[in-house]
């Protein structure tokens, strides 16, 4: 019977910066596997999150926000996002429910023009928009692109998310189980640790700092007593940024380290010793060699 068919496939989550792509993925998975913040361009790499259900497996691909690229880092991020709409089974294109469709339609056509996969327009943050306004916006989006469906959700509250997942599952082909059931993401622990440290920096420091930060895990070792010892370097572009990250008498760096260590311990389910260093790497975000060295 059709209901017993095991469906699996890959689903890209794309859209502008800060529309809630990572929040949506974390909500679907029921666990935090992607860092989030209220600052745009938080996600820099494509990250896969694996969602298992009774008769299927959905591999969601979280992507950087699509924006006008100025530095090599920005270009890398946009290229990652654009590549994610190719050769996937379903595309979720996220917009904020409060956004003006007239401004979104041009980019939607530019990004999705020519793709062969079904596209679902996900209108996120519906908890912030009156329902009567949503209906008018949905009608406008229907005119600008042949979406398979238009789906209003709130990733922060979970409203509509389960129904969205059910719709996506029904669009997937019959296929294999790509990952073991106990795996939530394909990225290594070192990557997740670096992202957690970066998230704390984004949440705790001034606006100028987060976009100039790259975190590299230099050492990740489990000691005989079960303690995981981690050493990481926080790379910034200017001396002034280094001063902000370190803070007066090292107070900011200590706070970053404490909050990151607590979250890493929950992730690894082990006691963690975390040592952080700060280094000035001038113009790293526009340096091809350093971008590669930092994992971009």
Closest CA to 208 of 172, 243, 250: 243
Does 3.30.300.20 match the CATH number of domain 189-293?
Answer: yes
Q: What is the predicted pLDDT for the residue at 212?
A: 83
Distance CA 240, CA 65 (A): 27
Tokens of 211: 């976009």
CA distance 58 to 13: 12
How big is the chain by its Cα radius of gyration, in Å?
A: 20
Burial of 113: CB neighbours in 10 Å, binned 0-12, 13-18, 19+: exposed
- CA-CA distance, 196 to 161, in Å (whole number)? 25
Where do the domains of the chain lie?
2-171, 189-293
C-beta separation of 96 from 112 below 8 A:
no
Supply the DSSP string of 108-139, one letter for each residue. Answer: HHHHHTT--S-EEEEEE-GGGS-HHHHHHHHH
Burial 36-59 (b: 16+ CB within 10 A, else e): bbeeebbbbbbbbbbbbeeebbbb
Which pLDDT tens digits describe the chain residue by residue (296 residues)? 455 789 999 999 988 888 989 899 999 998 887 756 565 555 556 678 999 998 999 999 888 766 565 666 666 665 666 676 777 899 999 999 999 998 888 888 888 887 889 999 999 999 888 888 898 899 999 998 999 999 999 999 999 999 999 999 999 999 999 999 888 888 888 888 998 999 999 889 876 676 789 999 999 999 888 899 999 999 999 999 999 999 999 999 999 999 999 999 988 889 999 999 999 999 988 888 988 888 87
- Is it true that domain 2-171 has CATH number 1.20.120.1200? no
Q: Tokens at residue 121, please?
A: 């327009």
Beta strands in 134-203 (DSSP E): 149-152
* Cα angle value 220/79/171 (rounded, 5°): 95
Q: Are 79 and 106 in contact (CB under 8 A)?
A: no
Q: What's CA 218's distance to the chain center, in Å?
A: 23
pLDDT 10s digits, 65-107: 665 656 666 666 656 666 767 778 999 999 999 999 988 888 8
């Amino acid at each position: 019977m059709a209901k017993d068919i095991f469906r699996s496939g890959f689903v890209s989550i794309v859209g502008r910066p800060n529309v809630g792509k990572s929040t949506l993925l974390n909500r679907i998975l029921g666990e935090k596997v992607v860092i989030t913040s209220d600052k745009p361009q938080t996600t820099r790499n494509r990250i896969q999150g694996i969602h298992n259900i009774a008769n299927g497996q959905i591999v969601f691909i979280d992507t950087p926000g699509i924006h006008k690229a100025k530095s090599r880092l920005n270009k890398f991020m946009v290229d990652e996002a654009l590549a994610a709409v190719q050769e996937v089974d379903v595309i979720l294109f996220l917009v904020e429910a409060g956004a003006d469709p007239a401004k979104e339609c041009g980019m939607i056509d530019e990004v999705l023009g020519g793709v062969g996969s079904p596209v679902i327009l996900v209108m996120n943050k519906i908890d912030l928009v009156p329902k009567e306004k949503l209906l008018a916006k949905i009608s406008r989006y229907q005119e600008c692109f042949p979406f398979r469906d238009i789906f209003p959700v709130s990733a922060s509250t979970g409203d509509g998310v389960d129904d969205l997942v059910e719709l996506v599952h029904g669009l997937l082909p019959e296929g294999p189980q790509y990952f073991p059931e106990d795996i939530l993401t394909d990225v290594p622990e070192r990557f997740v640790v670096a992202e957690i440290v970066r998230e704390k920096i984004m949440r705790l420091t001034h606006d100028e700092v987060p976009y100039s930060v790259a975190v590299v895990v230099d050492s990740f070792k489990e000691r005989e007593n079960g303690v995981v010892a981690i050493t990481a370097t926080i790379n910034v572009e200017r001396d002034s940024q280094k001063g902000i990250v370190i803070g007066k008498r090292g107070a900011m760096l200590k706070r970053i380290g404490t909050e990151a260590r607590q979250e890493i311990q929950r992730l690894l389910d082990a006691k963690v010793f975390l040592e952080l260093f700060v280094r000035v790497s001038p113009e790293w975000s526009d340096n091809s060699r350093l971008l590669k060295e930092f994992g971009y």
